[in-house]
Structure formats: structure tokens, C-alpha cells
Amino acid sequence: DAGVIQSPRHEVTEMGQEVTLRCKPISGHNSLFWYRQTMMRGLELLIYFNNNVPIDDSGMPEDRFSAKMPNASFSTLKIQPSEPRDSAVYFCASRLSWEGTDTQYFGPGTRLTVL
Amino acid sequence: EDQVTQSPEALRLQEGESSSLNCSYTVSGLRGLFWYRQDPGKGPEFLFTLYSAGEEKEKERLKATLTKKESFLHITAPKPEDSATYLCAVQRKGSNYKLTFGKGTLLTVNP
């Protein structure tokens, strides 16, 4: 299996620009997570989808952040407009959600730098 | 609010020098405690899940243990390839998805 695929791997943009991060979960997985990792705050859950439906978006920092999952094979995290404090590594993770397993499998991440 | 504290923040060992990493947690009912390994520039890689106090799991040179307040990741005779950041996370009862992570321990094993 190819694992969780994220693109781009690196993104450098200027303040005020729109940024779109992409994720392809592991085939057959029905849960998808977006995380943000910074030195100060560590790894934080932004949003959780189950069967393509957003279940918990309480970690989304503000209205500038939005996430979609139009189908089981694709999700996006959009930041508009971007700010320097959004600079971080963003991870996507997926899981096959059924009783008896909780393991989340992470992608390689997208390193976002907002100048 | 769930809290996870990992110590030490960084640990430097010589190859073959065994040691332990600590993960202290505060959660209102533990559903599971997770250990992940993260290499530079990569995403966290799953190692273990522990569900109840007294439980132990092993994988190669790593052994994870769990008490009601903390978990230890014991590393026996480490090799340079064990160098990584080790992350601990907790999941509370009533949630089957939310993980609260600690900030990790950066382990460096010198040859």
C-alpha cells in the first residue's frame, strides 16, 4: 500500500495568499484527520472526518481554515488568507474505523511557510 | 482537559546503553495510550497501543509499559537507527478518535 499521500510536501507563500493542502488517505480507510505540528504546541488535531462527514472541527483555529472531503479518496485543507503564524507542518492521517482498532496512519506532512 | 507530559525532552545515549522514556498523563478515564516514532521530515509512525494498567508490549528493542499515571518506553541496547523523536498520546474514554499528544522526547543514539 502506498500509505497516506500528501501534497505539496513544501509550500512557501506570502501573507494573505490562499493555501490548499491535499491528502489521499489509505485505500479502504473511512476516517481522516488533519493535524498541525509546531515546536510550541506539538501535534494538534484540527478536524476529523468519518465516512467523508466532518465530525469534529473544534480544533480548527479560526474561520480562515476550512477542510473538505468530497469523496473517500481525497481531502483538502484550505487557509485563506494565510498568516505567518500559520507556518507549521500539517499532517493528514487515516484510519479504518471499526471496533477494536484505533491506529491512525500518518502521511509525510506538508511544511508550510508563510512569509 | 487532557494533558500529556513527556520527559526528558532530549536524551543522548551511547549505542548499547539502555534507558527509558517517560510519559505522564492526566485524563478523565483512559481509553488507550499510544506510542509513535517520528523521524525528521516524516510523519509519526505507530508503535504501540496500551489499554490497561499493567499491560506491556514489545517490538524489537522497545518495550512499552503502562500504569495508572504514566507510561514508560524502555529501550534495550539501542542502536543508532533508533534515533528519532518518540511521541506519546492519550485517548479518553467516550472518544474513539481524539488523541492528545505530548511534545515528544528526542532520542539520539551515538555509535
Considering only the beta carbons, identify the residue of B34, B87, B98 that sits closest to A45: B98
Give the span between the Cα atoms of A7 and A19, in whole angstroms: 11
pLDDT in tens, B62-111: 999 999 999 999 999 999 999 999 999 999 988 888 999 999 999 999 99
Asked whether the beta carbons of residue A42 and residue B91 sit closer than 8 angstroms, the reply is: no
Query: A25: closest CA among A89, A102, A93, A96?
Result: A93
| Model confidence at A113: pLDDT above 60 | yes
Considering only the beta carbons, identify the residue of B31, B46, B87 that sits closest to A103: B46
Confidence of residue A85 (pLDDT cuts 50, 70, 90): very high
Q: Which residue has the cell 520527559?
A: B7
Separation in Å, CA B62 to CA B28, B50, B81: 28, 14, 12
